[in-house]
Structure 1
Amino acid sequence: MGLPFPIFTWWNGATFGTRMGLRGKKRVGEDSLGNLYFEGGRDPNGIPRRWVIYKGSNDASRIPPEWFSWLAHQIDGTPDESLPPVRAWEKPAEPNLTGTELAYRPPGALEKGAHRAKATGDYEAWTPDA
């Protein structure tokens, strides 16, 4: 797309202005999806400010749970140093699939043919006279 593309597009990674705003901030890590995490400065309450720069589309559901806990100040250190190792039975986090082909569609949804199971006969419509 060329050089000017990241200057104007906020939905696909960081813009030029965001990158300039992160000058002097400390890069603290990178997750398995390639998102970069930064820390620096303090807010008016004295809490350190933290940022994520997405690799690809800007979708908050693409932040793994361990890094979300760091961004939300639930843990002080990075996930590598503050959290226990991942257990064998844990599944990897999935991004929000709404609006994609992999989204959940219940029986009877238009995308699944719009055919619902027959009623079981235990339904009786309400009438005001009853």
Structure 2
Amino acid sequence: MAILKSIFTWWDGATIGTAWFTARAGRKVGEDALGNVYYEAKKAVDGRCRRWVIYNGANDASRVPPEWHGWLHGSLDALPDQALPPVRAWQRPPEPNWTGTPQAYRPAGALEAGGRRAAATGDYEAWSPDQA
């Protein structure tokens, strides 16, 4: 059953085709704190090497840290630990996309947040075609 799962469930990690392609055409260049592994193609096409990530867990692009996102998209030529300055004490770690989860942002008027919002301030006046 695990073989069938690895063949057909692309949303839950790398499939057999991805693993085969990665082993054949890519070389490992690094790993982030979440366990995602980053690869670069062995051969360049049009002067650029293809870059990709194999996620550790669910395939969710918001789980790629900003520094590795820059490397994946070619903004950084060198690896992030070589090209970027060290993390400063005031910087917070990145958060994943919480949309669709209980941790998602809920504004004051949202039904999930109680459905109550502040009263209108009265500074809005509707336009009427009769007014000139």
The TM-score normalised by the length of structure 2 is 0.89
Q: Note the alpha carbon deviations across 1:53-108, whole angstroms, 9 max, x for none.
A: 01111111110011111111111121122221111111101111111111111111
Tell me what 1:128 maps to.
Answer: 129
Q: How does 1:51-66 map to 2 (within 5 A)?
A: 51-66=52-67
Say if 2:11 and 2:58, in contact at 8 Å, map to a contact too: yes
Name the CA distance, whole Å, in 2 between partners of 1:32 and 1:12.
Answer: 19
Tell me what 1:74 maps to.
Answer: 75
**SS, match of residue 11 in structure 1:** helix
The structure in which a higher percent of residues are helix is 2
After TM superposition, where is structure 1 displaced by more than 2 Å over at least 4 residues in a row? 1-4, 41-44, 120-130
> Cα RMSD over matched residues?
1.6
Tell me what 1:39 maps to.
Answer: 40
Tell me what 1:50 maps to.
Answer: 51
Query: How far has the Cα of 1:43 moved from its partner?
Result: 5.1
Moved more, 120-129 or 108-117: 120-129
Q: How does 1:64-103 map to 2 (within 5 A)?
A: 64-103=65-104
Name the CA distance, whole Å, in 1 between partners of 2:100 and 2:39.
Answer: 30
Opposite residue 68 of structure 1, the aligned amino acid is H
Unaligned runs of 5+ in 1: none
> Between Structure 1 and Structure 2, how many residues are aligned?
130
Name the CA distance, whole Å, in 2 between partners of 1:39 and 1:121.
Answer: 58
Name the CA distance, whole Å, in 1 between partners of 2:129 and 2:4.
Answer: 66
Moved more, 71-80 or 120-129: 120-129
Name the CA distance, whole Å, in 1 between partners of 2:57 and 2:46.
Answer: 32
Tell me what 2:17 maps to.
Answer: 17
Tell me what 1:3 maps to.
Answer: 3
Unaligned runs of 5+ in 2: none
Q: % of aligned pairs identical?
A: 59
The TM-score normalised by the length of structure 1 is 0.90
Name the CA distance, whole Å, in 1 between partners of 2:121 and 2:29.
Answer: 58
Say if 2:27 and 2:42, in contact at 8 Å, map to a contact too: no
Opposite residue 118 of structure 1, the aligned amino acid is A
Q: Note the alpha carbon deviations across 1:16-44, whole angstroms, 9 max, x for none.
A: 00000012321111101110101123453
**SS, match of residue 23 in structure 1:** helix
Name the CA distance, whole Å, in 1 between partners of 2:83 and 2:120.
Answer: 53
